């Protein structure tokens, strides 16, 4: 396929190219063929992919060794595996801190020759930045083209089905000039937009990216022809010294393989996440709300409710590890929230008085006091300090009491001025947050009003809101699921157990809905919605953890809930930025350990991290329980902690140092950490 070039691009774009990713002038040598599949035909390419040869680790280890021989002068290797495969086009990219990415392509008579040609092209184009002296800081990524489909960019935005985002890239040829965008680069370069009214891959972004890669491509027609390219991608892992790096297969920008649901692995991910969160807390206690790695920019928006929820999760991590910087940072975050609260007098049918609430927006959100109280409950349990924030906890609780109507339903959005009519808007999550805050406060401040209010609230949700709904109609309510575990602990009411299991069945139903898609898109497994997002999986994980707690208090095993939790957690772990998946970022330290929004949302938001970390912590806790180890968290721990004085010493310093090694490598220390003595 040949495209018409109407004019050369401006010198400004050419200059800009030198400052961007992967720029070089690429011509398509006639002797190597000019097709995206290289010298291979479509059938042989398809056969190589279907036979699993490109997904074979031994084959691809050989492939990377060949590339390193050309790029770095490492010892020559035999190539029986790659030499026996067709000459599929290879795209070879070198990722490092600066420049972030440099790429080249090549094709030959067989895959071995394609790799050598791609490596030679990269070495020729980038002798100063990709060489043996710099190899310790370089991670190679290799894409092998397997399929191509003719297409035309006919409108201002390419609108693929979301499940296809980052599963194909673009190959454009104009005369002897070619340029391309690899599938993973759709996300790496921030080409895909999920903004309302602008969802898709804008033409202007694609054209700019193609021009940055090859300024000589020429100006493209308004409706330009291209080929959608599919690849099999592999990436080198980080290594120390001269040790040969391992490799991992990629799918979109995350790993092809799911991580194991192993308690040690879950603890590691918890520490990475907690380290990310404290690194995002400024000196005044404000938590970075949202970060866009592809643009290296922070969002200007904020959400105080998520601030409270995020602080709650950091305190959970402190409870598990007893790593003091987690507590120090949390206290400052608590102060930040308090500074944005207001106190006045409000009363409802069941009481009230001097109340405290989060001030944000034109109404008072019930969830502000609910999550604020949950945060303080977690502080009290994690530290054993039941006095420092008792006044504020009670004031939050009195606000919640004041907003309960006679039938048990809460007012979701109260007026700023006492006595004014409330908003009629509702929220699916605010009641559960309020109920959880109250029932956990009752654990350490035995005022029956707290428990009674929580019971009335839960009864309304079960008997009115959720009445008669089967698993197809019940909405996920993880905060209620957590609250019910504590309510069942105190009341032993069978309807609380029954509703917990009903909510878990609703999660199971939602899980099954994605299993058909998972046969084609492997990363859909264990996810929720289309496309799956990390937070819906995480909140369901939190809820399933709580249902297991309720089952445990009731003396039931509920193995199916545990299996569903593990499926969910496996999916969650795809979205954490770990040592492998930060390869493409210009500012790795701002992302490492965080959770992105899901399969096609690279951004990191504080509540993405909060919910995933809480879910991971709970899953680890239940796995350790099978090993005879009781970890903090859940109603049974609360009983043991308050009634028997059971405490948790945390993670030993030597182990914590090991768990934080990658954090220190990527980010270094934060202002919250006490310098070593």
The answer to whether domain 263-666 has CATH 1.50.10.10 is yes
pTM for the model? 0.94
CA 532 to chain CA centroid, Å, is 11
- What is the per-residue pLDDT for 35? 87
Residue 140 forms beta bridges with which residues?
94
**C-beta separation of 627 from 617 below 8 A:** no
**C-beta separation of 216 from 206 below 8 A:** no
Structure tokens at 561: 């809930």
The segments of the chain whose pLDDT lies below 50 read 1-32, 676
- What is the per-residue pLDDT for 186? 98
Residue 353: closest CA among 343, 342, 345, 365: 345
- Return residue ranges of the chain for CATH 1.50.10.10: 263-666
* Tokens 């270094």 belong to residue: 668
CB atoms within 10 A of CB 471: 15
Query: What tens digit of pLDDT does each residue of 490-541 get?
Result: 999 999 999 999 999 999 999 999 999 999 999 999 999 999 999 999 999 9
- What is the per-residue pLDDT for 34? 59
- What is the per-residue pLDDT for 5? 37
Rounded to an integer, what distance in angstroms lies between the CA atom of residue 235 and that of residue 582? 11
- What is the per-residue pLDDT for 48? 87
**C-beta separation of 509 from 472 below 8 A:** yes
Q: 537, exposed or middle or buried, with CB in 10 Å at 0-12, 13-18, 19+?
A: buried
- What is the per-residue pLDDT for 244? 85
Report how far apart, in Å, the C-alpha atoms of 604 and of each of 454, 526, 645 are: 33, 20, 38
Report how far apart, in Å, the C-alpha atoms of 238 and of each of 128, 153, 244, 615 are: 21, 38, 9, 27
- b/e burial code for range 45-75 (CB count within 10 A of at least 16 → b): beebbeeebbeeeebbbbbbbbbbbbbbebe
Report the percent of the chain where pLDDT is more than 90. Answer: 89
Residue 224 forms beta bridges with which residues?
153
- What is the per-residue pLDDT for 11? 38
- What is the per-residue pLDDT for 189? 97
Cis peptide before 531 (omega within 30 of 0): yes
């Amino acid at each position: 396929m040949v495209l018409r070039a109407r004019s050369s691009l401006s010198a400004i774009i050419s200059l800009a190219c030198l400052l961007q990713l992967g720029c070089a002038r690429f011509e398509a040598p006639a002797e190597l063929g000019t097709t995206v599949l290289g010298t291979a035909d479509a059938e042989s390419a398809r056969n190589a992919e279907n036979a699993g040869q490109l997904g074979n680790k031994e084959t691809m280890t050989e492939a990377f060794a060949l590339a390193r021989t050309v790029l770095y002068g490492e010892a020559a290797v035999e190539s029986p595996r790659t030499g026996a495969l067709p000459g599929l086009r290879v795209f070879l990219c070198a990722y490092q801190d600066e420049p972030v990415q440099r790429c080249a392509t090549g094709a030959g008579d067989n895959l071995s020759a394609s790799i050598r040609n791609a490596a030679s092209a990269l070495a020729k184009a980038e002798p100063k930045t990709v060489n043996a002296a710099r190899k310790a800081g370089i991670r190679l990524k290799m894409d092998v083209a397997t399929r191509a489909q003719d297409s035309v960019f006919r409108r201002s935005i390419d609108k693929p089905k979301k499940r296809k985002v980052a599963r194909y890239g673009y190959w454009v040829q104009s005369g002897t000039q070619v340029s391309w965008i690899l599938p993973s680069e759709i996300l790496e370069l921030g080409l895909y937009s999920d903004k309302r009214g602008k969802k898709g891959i804008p033409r202007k972004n694609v054209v700019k990216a193609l021009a940055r890669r090859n300024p000589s491509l020429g100006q493209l027609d308004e409706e330009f022809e291209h080929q959608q390219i599919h690849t099999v991608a592999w990436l080198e892992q980080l290594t120390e010294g001269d040790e040969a790096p391992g490799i991992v297969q990629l799918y979109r920008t995350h790993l092809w393989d799911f991580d194991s649901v192993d308690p040690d692995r879950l603890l590691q991910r918890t520490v990475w996440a907690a380290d990310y969160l404290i690194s995002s807390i400024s000196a005044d206690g404000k938590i970075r709300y949202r970060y866009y790695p592809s643009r290296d920019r922070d969002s200007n928006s904020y959400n105080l409710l998520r601030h409270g929820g995020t602080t709650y999760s950091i305190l959970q991590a402190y409870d598990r590890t007893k790593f003091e910087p987690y507590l120090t940072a949390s206290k400052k975050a608590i102060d930040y929230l308090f500074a944005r609260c207001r106190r006045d007098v409000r009363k409802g049918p069941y009481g009230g008085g001097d109340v405290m609430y989060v001030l944000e927006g034109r109404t008072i959100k019930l969830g502000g006091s609910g999550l604020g109280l949950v945060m303080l409950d977690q502080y009290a349990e994690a530290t054993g300090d039941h006095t420092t924030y008792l006044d504020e906890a009670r004031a939050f609780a009195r606000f919640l009491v004041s907003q309960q109507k006679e039938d048990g339903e809460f007012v979701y959005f109260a007026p700023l001025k006492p006595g004014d009519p409330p908003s009629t808007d509702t929220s699916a999550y605010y009641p559960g947050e309020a109920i959880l805050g109250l029932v956990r406060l009752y654990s350490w401040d035995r005022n029956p009003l707290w428990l009674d209010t929580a019971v009335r609230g839960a009864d309304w949700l079960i008997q009115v809101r959720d009445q008669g709904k089967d698993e197809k109609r019940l909405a996920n309510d993880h905060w209620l699921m957590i609250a019910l575990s504590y309510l069942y602990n105190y009341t032993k009411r069978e309807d609380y157990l029954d509703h917990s299991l009903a909510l878990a069945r609703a999660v199971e139903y939602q899980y099954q809905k994605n299993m058909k898609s998972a046969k084609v898109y492997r990363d859909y497994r264990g996810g929720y919605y289309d496309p799956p997002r990390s937070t819906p999986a995480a909140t369901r994980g939190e809820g399933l953890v709580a249902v297991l707690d309720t089952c445990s208090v009731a003396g039931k095993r509920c193995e199916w809930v545990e299996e569903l939790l593990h499926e969910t957690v496996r999916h969650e772990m795809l979205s954490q930025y770990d040592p492998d998946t930060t390869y493409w970022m210009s500012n790795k330290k701002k992302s490492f350990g965080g959770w992105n929004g899901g399969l096609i949302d690279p951004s990191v938001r504080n509540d993405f991290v909060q919910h995933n970390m809480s879910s991971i912590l709970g899953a680890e806790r239940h796995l350790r329980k099978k090993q005879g180890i009781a970890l903090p968290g859940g109603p049974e721990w609360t009983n043991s902690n308050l009634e028997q004085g059971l405490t948790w010493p945390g993670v030993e310093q030597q182990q914590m140092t090991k768990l934080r090694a990658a954090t220190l490598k990527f980010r270094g220390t934060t202002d919250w950490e006490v310098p070593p003595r």
